[in-house]
Amino acid sequence: MDGATVGAIQKGLMILLGVVEGDTDAQAQTLAAKTAKLRIFEDEQGKMNRSVCDEGGACLVVSQFTLCADCKKGNRPSFTSSAAPQEAKRLYESYAALLKENGVTKVETGEFGADMKVTLLNDGPVTILLDTDTWKKG
């Protein structure tokens, strides 16, 4: 598959998904529902008031274990908090399926665990971190 395009979308969301040890199916459901309903696209007045579903947009979900990096000590990131590959893949695939269940009409994925070349054209200055672990603390 060298050089092959695995997943591609036009208008929508590029989602880099990191799965940490202890993440659950319930968290995947919560995250998928939030992602599908998050009002981050502009309406006619230029206000962020529309969701990816409202826009008829798509989602490209790419597994990104490096988001789980712990950089507290030293200068080399530690990835020990990342979920085991088999569980991370299961939750990654579940999350992508749950996006569809929450109304996203087109969901594309990358190739789990592969060294991919990912290209993004960011239309606007919106990059948002959604972390279900921080939601538990609030």
DSSP class per residue in 39-73: --EE-TTS-EEE-HHHHT-EEEEEE-GGGG-B-SS
- Residues 94, 25: contact at Cβ < 8 Å? yes
DSSP state of 110: -
Q: Which two tokens stand for residue 46?
A: 């230029």
Q: Which two tokens stand for residue 38?
A: 């998050």
- Residues 99, 32: contact at Cβ < 8 Å? yes
Establish whether 66 is a catalytic residue: yes
Q: Any idea which residue has 């940490």 for tokens?
A: 20
Q: Which two tokens stand for residue 56?
A: 């008829």
- Catalytic pick among 24, 66, 105, 127: 66
Active site residues: 66
